[in-house]
Structures are given as structure tokens and as C-alpha cells.
Structure 1
Amino acid sequence: MPAITPLDAEELPETAPGLARLLIDSVDGGASVGFFAPLDFTTALRWWLALEAPLRDGSARIWLARQEDRVVGTIGLRLTGYPTGRHRAEVSKLLVHRDVRGQGLGRTLLAHAEREALAQELTLLFLDTETGSVAENLYRRSGWTPVGTIPDFAHDPRGALSPTTIFYKHLV
């Protein structure tokens, strides 16, 4: 299993190209993560580099899975800036490269983010995912609770409107 390590703002510029390639692979593989396919490298790179300020101020936390010096997976947490929401975070960009899918890395990254969140006194996580996707099945099998489904929530990578299921998980 690849090693999972935190990403900090200082290493983001050197790591961003690998993250961009991972995002492109995920989108090209059909993952509905906010981008249309085909995703170009410059757009993907800019998206990751824009996370420098949130990483620096602590409103975003990202972990990487590396295998042979290549980023093959990632997961992030986005924290709210509201005082009343200090106990919660949104799970974002759980990505696993197609070369290593089916080996439990997605489940490992999700469990890692849950442990890290709890260690940081976050007790509630939430996320949204494309209804009917492989990711939806992962969240259900990992003990997440579906709240409901929103029809036509987002375009999938090919441009079709797709429903999204909202999930949450209490960590205590």
C-alpha cells in the first residue's frame, strides 16, 4: 500500500504537476469531480496551485498517497470559516489513479482522513458524490449515512446532468 503523507503549502508547487496528472486521469476515467473531460494540464495545475492559501491558513488539509515517487491518490478536508462549524469539514477530491484502483487505496485514504479529522477534534464530516458511482458504493460500505439525492446537481465529465447523493459521518 502506498505511503500516505500530508501535503503542506511549501511543497505544493513541486507536487502540483503530479496532482494535476492524477486529476486528469480521474476525470478522463469518468470521475465526476468538478471538471469536464478532456481536462487540460494547465487547468488542472492551476486548480491545485490555488490551494496554496487554504493550505497555508489551515482551511484545507490534503493527504497524498505516493508510489514510486508518483502521486497515485489524494484526499482533502475543507474546513468552514464559521465559528459555529468548527466541528465539521467537507471531504474533497478523493482521487485514486486508475492504475491502482481496486486495491483498497480509496478506502485507506478515506479512513486516514477520518482518523486525522478526529485527531483534530472534527466530529462531523460530509461530502457529495455522483449517485450510482463507484465512490457512492465506497462511502456506503465505509459507514457513511446518505442524506438524500439532488437530481441534476452537476454535469458529469462528459457533460450530462447527473444526480448527486449527499453523505455525512459522525466520527464519535
Structure 2
Amino acid sequence: MPDIQIRALQSSPDTCAMLSEMLVEAVANGGSVSFMHPLPLQEAKAFWRDSLGSADRGERIVLGAFDGAELIGTVTLLLKLSQNQPHRAEIAKMLTRLSHRHRGVATALLREAERAAIKHGRWLLVLDTAEDEGAAGLYERVGFKLAGLIPDYAFKPYGGLTGTLIYWKRLQAGVPV
């Protein structure tokens, strides 16, 4: 794994630009992350401006992994959920630059997201990933449990449907079941 630094990202034009380029790269390479190919850079920027604004309001945490000054990965921890779910958070937008995949970046981001969740009183995490070419193996290696599959859930970036796998993870022992 490269010597990476992980930190919560703040809203800025530079941060938004780096995240947007990473999102466009992910979609162009088949990443099923809610967008279709080709993803215009302006659309990616609008998404990240909204996401970083939400982070500035404390509704989510956007983490970034850096190799020097280069942003090489990100994950979002969604905190603002329904009133009856103050104990859980959702993992979203897990992205790693193609140049840094399979080097432990995503695992490090997930571990930091878990620490942030606990710090914010969240002890149950949920996430979803595409059945086709998703990150199921990664999530299972770090302890997420498969809840089930929803067939034909979303379109892949280049078209055609894929199912979605729903995962969960309890972060602390001794919490209510």
C-alpha cells in the first residue's frame, strides 16, 4: 500500500475538481456508482458540490485518501438518515483511482469510515454494490455481511441492468440487536 493519508474533505473548488475527475474516471471504466457513461464533468462537479455542501452541514462525511497531493480514493459516510435510524450510517461512493487499485486504499478508507461512524454514535453500517463487477469481495473481506440481492436494480454505466447486493456490518459488540 502506498503511504497514504486519509482525511475528511472540506468544500473547495480544488477538492470538487479532484473528486469530479475521479468520478468521471470510475464511470468511464464501468463503475456502477449511480451515473451513466459518458458522465459530463459539469454533472460530476454538481454532484460533488452538493455532497461537499452536505458534509459542511454535518449530514455526511466525505473522506479522501491522498498519495502526496494526489487524491487517490474517496468514500462517503451518510449520517443524515430517518429519525428512527440514529444508530446507523450508510457507506456510499467508494471510489479508488485506477492507478491505485488493489493496494489497500479502499480498505483503509473503509476502516476510517468505521472510526468516524463510531465517533458519531453510529454502530450499524449498510451499503450496496453492483452484483456485476462490484466490490462485494472487498466488503466481505472487511466483515460486511450479505443481506440479499435485488435483481435488475440499476443500469450499468454502459447500459444493461445489474442486480444490487445489500450488505450490513455491526461495528461494536454489545449493542442492541
TM bracket (short chain): over 0.9
Shift of 1:31: 1.0
Write the distance in 1 (CA, Å) between the matches of 2:49 and 2:9: 12
Aligned to 2:14, what secondary structure does the other structure show? Answer: helix
Write the letter of the residue equivalent to 1:76.
T
Write the distance in 1 (CA, Å) between the matches of 2:80 and 2:51: 15
Write the distance in 1 (CA, Å) between the matches of 2:52 and 2:119: 23
CA deviations 1:38-69 (Å, max 9, x no partner) are 21211111110112431122111111011231
Write the distance in 2 (CA, Å) between the matches of 1:12 and 1:125: 28
Write the distance in 1 (CA, Å) between the matches of 2:38 and 2:83: 39
Write the distance in 1 (CA, Å) between the matches of 2:19 and 2:59: 19
Shift of 1:133: 2.6
Aligned to 2:121, what secondary structure does the other structure show? Answer: coil
Q: Judge conservation of contact 1:80–1:88 (CA < 8 Å) in 2.
A: no
Q: Judge conservation of contact 2:129–2:135 (CA < 8 Å) in 1.
A: yes
Write the letter of the residue equivalent to 1:92.
A
Please tell me whether residue 69 in structure 1 is matched to residue 73 in structure 2: no
Write the letter of the residue equivalent to 2:6.
I
Aligned to 1:143: 143
Write the distance in 2 (CA, Å) between the matches of 1:102 and 1:37: 24
Write the distance in 1 (CA, Å) between the matches of 2:134 and 2:153: 17
Write the distance in 1 (CA, Å) between the matches of 2:68 and 2:80: 34
Aligned to 2:6: 4
Write the distance in 2 (CA, Å) between the matches of 1:21 and 1:132: 23
Aligned to 1:119: 119
Residue identity over aligned pairs, in percent, reads 34
Shift of 1:132: 4.0
What runs of 5+ residues in structure 2 fail to find an aligned partner?
173-177
Given the two structures, how large is their TM-score scaled by the length of structure 1? Answer: 0.93
What runs of 5+ residues in structure 1 fail to find an aligned partner?
none
Count residues with an aligned counterpart.
Answer: 170
Given the two structures, how large is their TM-score scaled by the length of structure 2? Answer: 0.91
Write the distance in 2 (CA, Å) between the matches of 1:150 and 1:124: 21
Write the letter of the residue equivalent to 2:72.
V
Pairing of 1:1-172 with structure 2 (within 5 A): 1-8=3-10, 11-172=11-172
Post-superposition, which runs of at least 4 consecutive aligned residues in structure 1 deviate over 3 A? none
- Across the aligned residues of Structure 1 and Structure 2, the Cα RMSD in angstroms comes to 1.3
